[in-house]
Amino acid sequence: MAKFTVFLATLAVLLLLTEASIYRTTIQIDEENPSGQGQQGECQEQIRRQQNLRHCQEYIRQQSQQRGRRGDHQGQDIDQCCDQLEELETRCRCQGLQQAVREQQSQRRGQQPQEERRMLDVARDIPSMCDLQPRECQFSSPRVWF
């Protein structure tokens, strides 16, 4: 009877973990994956049509420098960023945000890894702030992009 109780408890925990993970949607960008080049080109075109997400770039820059303080101009930037992201297909949004981070990093050469991480952290949560899918973007660890 004790083994059966342990088995049921384990099964219940597994079911709870499975159910909890169902509600979280993330997309991870795999830069080394050459498959899907056609899709990547389509995303690049969509991103270009949305001005390379310049409002998202500005919001990411401001938030990473000010560590969460939000002014009126920043509120306008996040709203315009959301508008730009909404115009992208769901599968292209994380790629667009990662590209926005890269653009900001290329303009700020010599920044520390923690600054790069802060930019990625800001970008990761933008879809959730915009109430868009995916709710969160997963980016690879900070590195210098040129």
- Predicted confidence at residue 52, as pLDDT, reads 95
What kind and span of H or E run contains 1? none
Tokens of 104: 């900001």
- Predicted confidence at residue 91, as pLDDT, reads 96
What structural domains and CATH numbers belong to the chain?
44-141 (1.10.110.10)
| Cβ burial, residue 28 (10 Å; 0-12/13-18/19+) | exposed
Which residue reads 């709203």 in tokens? 79
Per residue in 91-129, pLDDT (tens digit) is: 999 999 999 999 998 887 777 788 888 999 999 999 999
Residues 90 and 84: their CA atoms lie apart, in Å, by 12
Say if residues 72 and 117 touch (Cβ distance below 8 Å).
no
- Predicted confidence at residue 18, as pLDDT, reads 61
Say if residues 2 and 8 touch (Cβ distance below 8 Å).
no
Say if residues 8 and 118 touch (Cβ distance below 8 Å).
no
pLDDT, the chain, mean: 80
On whether the pTM is more than 0.95, the answer is no
